[in-house]
Amino acid sequence: MTGRLPASLARASIAFLSMEIGLESGMRCYSGGLGVLAGDFALAAADLGLPMVFLSLACRDGYVRQTIDGQGHQHDAPDPWDPAEWATPLPIEASVAIEGREVRIRAWLREIEGTSGSRLPVLLLDTDVEANDADARAITSRLYGGDQDFRLRQEAVLGLGGKAVLDLLGLEIRRYHLNEGHAALLPLALLAERGDAEAVRESAVFTTHTPIPAGHDRFAMSAVRAVIGDVLADEAARLFDGARELDMTRLALALTGWVNGVSQKHAEVTRLMFPGHEIHAVTNGVHHVRWTHPAIADLFDRTTPGWRAGASALAGFETAAGDVDVWAAHMEAKRALIDDVRSRTGHDLDPDRPLIGFARRMTPYKRADLLFGHLVRLLKIAENRPFQVLLAGKAHPHDKGGKALIARLHEIAHSCGAHLPIVFLPGYDIEMAGRLVAGCDVWLNTPEPPLEASGTSGMKAAINGVLNLSVLDGWWLEGCEHGRNGWCIGNERDAAAPGHDEWLLELLEREVLPTWYDDRTRWIAMMKHSVSSLGPRFSAERAMRDYAGQAYGEAVEVGG
């Protein structure tokens, strides 16, 4: 590269690649959990001073701008943003061969400053440059947009383009961390270059993030040939004995030397999906400072100084904080959320009644309608001890089941009327997530096990003292102390037990609502224990320490 490299880039020796990254609400190159996690990990890596560079796509048209009409139908539109407002372009253009011509790739640099003062570079790859034809310029337009070929072109930009950019910058990368199979073309390019699969594996780490088949891309070999050319396609074909399809997860598994799932349970499930591979577990975590509401952060500053530099300090919160202060901070977050709901929707929620929140990608396996499976009984419970429900989440434009779910939730909200206030907030994003995970009283999670690989929004809630009410799946299997830091819906072993829908109503009626209304002291004790027992363990800091020690071969100081 001409000129001097920013110091943060010059020292980078570990590259983290993800198709999406959620750093700021307005940098709309993210869709949900995977991207927000990458953002949290980048912040934690900056705090820890790890010599890393994060790479993702600039996707200028964002993911989906969600609006919902009177019938509860989601309408999708592009959600454009301008990288120039958030990042600076590096004075280089890499290029990769895609569909027989050279596609030029620019990289936008955004630097993150960690608590320790060290800076961490994030590079966003962008094909919208003058030298490219219209099709090439569109590759980094819409995140997860278009058809299979479009997706493969995006993955070529991330994997092959990512490597080309790092090479052009002259960085000596000794570990490439692939998140999902999306970047699996990168080690394939390394293999073509070095010819030694063992050496490639030594430098590559792979994290799989979902057991859902749709989350694992497969491309027809003919399409692979057309997009990345014969040389690389031959290399891939050799690895899989001339298979007609290229499975990106299997490609990543074949060319990486250290593989993990994102919770203990998910690692177990992954072992069954891909026998013969050693699968480690690194449970996800969230950036504890980013997700703490200002009112709660204030309280942490007073009770557990040092918590910003190290999440483990939060272990002391439950003995250090007074009940009155905890409740006051919580109510401040709750009122801010309720004000926001009013200004967005005109609905008036009552701060003196319990508020249950549920915000997820709207897709059938997350079962957003589980709470409403027995409406008559639910309304009876609400008559006795009133509560309110806040919902949010986008459906992928092609997810008909997810869209039907949103329509059904609107129908249910309408039919419950004033008996049970249910509000759906359109346009779930990072900013809204921040308000929701701090301002609700209860955070509901009802996936069909074992499909929720980890889940992270519950961790954000936990750190704000918002109590999780969740099916035992993903992280909650590791974190739940039933009746002490939240509640579990159902139990793992007893197949003859009632369904999750009835179990949930039972819990609401007998434990959750009675505790809120009749035993506020116990509720607050649970809030405090939620912070202390879950905050340190499910922090991005802990997760990045695990990756550094186990997968990157990078020592991080204890404490920190």
Ligand X SMILES: *Cc1c(COP(=O)(O)O)cnc(C)c1O
Residue 151 CB, shortest distance to ligand X, in Å, is 20
Coil vs helix vs strand at 1:
coil
Nearer to ligand X, 266 or 330 (CB): 266
List 98, 251, 430, 469, residue binding ligand X (CB under 6 A): 430
d(CA 378, CA 185): 50
166 vs 370, beta carbon nearer ligand X = 370
Q: Which is nearer to ligand X, 201 or 360 (CB)?
A: 360
DSSP character at residue 551: I
Query: Binding of ligand X at residue 18 (CB under 6 A)?
Result: no
Place of tokens 């990157």: 552
- Residue 433 makes contact with ligand X by CB under 6 A: yes
Is 456 a residue that touches ligand X (CB under 6 A)?
yes
The H or E element containing residue 505 is helix 500-507
Q: Which is nearer to ligand X, 35 or 49 (CB)?
A: 35
Q: Measure the CA angle with vertex 428, ends 418 and 107; round to 5°.
A: 175
Q: Give the nearer residue to ligand X in terms of CB position, either 118 or 468.
A: 468
Long-range contacts of 98-101 (CB under 8 A, 24+ apart): 98/136, 98/139, 98/153, 98/156, 98/157, 98/160, 98/227, 98/228, 99/153, 99/226, 99/227, 100/229, 101/133, 101/136
Q: Which is nearer to ligand X, 429 or 554 (CB)?
A: 429
- Please identify, using beta-carbon distances, which residue of 56 and 457 lies nearer to ligand X: 457
Distance CA 54, CA 21 (A): 9
Stretch of 119-127, 132-140, 196-204, 427-435 lying at the interface with ligand X (CB under 6 A) = 427-435
**Residue from 62, 181, 285, 455 binding ligand X (CB under 6 A):** 455
Count of residues that interact with ligand X, criterion CB under 6 A: 13
Apex 541 CA angle, 278 and 262, nearest 5? 30
CA distances from 504 to 381, 392, 516 (A): 12, 20, 16
Q: State how far the Cα of 489 lies from the Cα of 472, in Å rounded to an integer.
A: 7
Among 457, 470, 515, 532, binds ligand X (CB under 6 A): 457
Closest to ligand X by CB, 455 vs 535, is 455
Q: How far apart are CA 120 and CA 111, in angstroms?
A: 5
Q: Does 360 bind ligand X (CB under 6 A)?
A: yes
Site for ligand X in 108-167 (CB under 6 A): none
CB-CB contact of 511 with 381 (8 Å): no
* CA-wise closest residue to 212 among 473, 544, 478: 473
Candidates 47-55, 76-84, 325-333, 450-458: pick the segment binding ligand X (CB under 6 A). 450-458
Question: Under the criterion CB under 6 A, does residue 209 sit at the interface with ligand X?
Answer: no
For residues 90 and 31, what is the distance between their CA atoms, to the nearest angstrom? 25
Q: How far is the CB of 455 from ligand X (least distance, A)?
A: 4
Q: Tell me the residue ranges of DSSP E strands in 353-477.
A: 355-359, 388-392, 422-425, 442-445, 467-471
The nearest distance, CB 303 to ligand X, in angstroms, is 25
d(CA 326, CA 317): 10
Residues 23-62 vs ligand X: string with x where CB under 6 A? Answer: ---------xx--x--------------------------
Q: Cβ 24 to ligand X, closest distance in Å?
A: 12
Query: 86 or 219, CB closer to ligand X?
Result: 86
- Residue 144 CA to residue 142 CA, distance in Å, equals 6
Q: How far is the CB of 81 from ligand X (least distance, A)?
A: 15
CB of 393 to ligand X, least distance (A): 8
CB of 265 to ligand X, least distance (A): 14
Comparison of 166 and 311: residue with beta carbon closer to ligand X = 311
Crossing angle, helix 248-255 and helix 230-239, to 10 degrees? 80
Contact stretch for ligand X (CB under 6 A) within 197-205, 261-269, 294-302, 451-459: 451-459
Choose the binding region for ligand X from 161-169, 294-302, 453-461, 546-554 (rule: CB under 6 A): 453-461
Please name the residues in contact with 74: beta carbons below 8 A apart, sequence gap of 6 or more: 66, 67, 68, 362, 394, 395, 403, 406, 407
Positions in the binding site for ligand X (CB under 6 A): 32-33, 36, 360, 428-430, 433, 455-458, 460
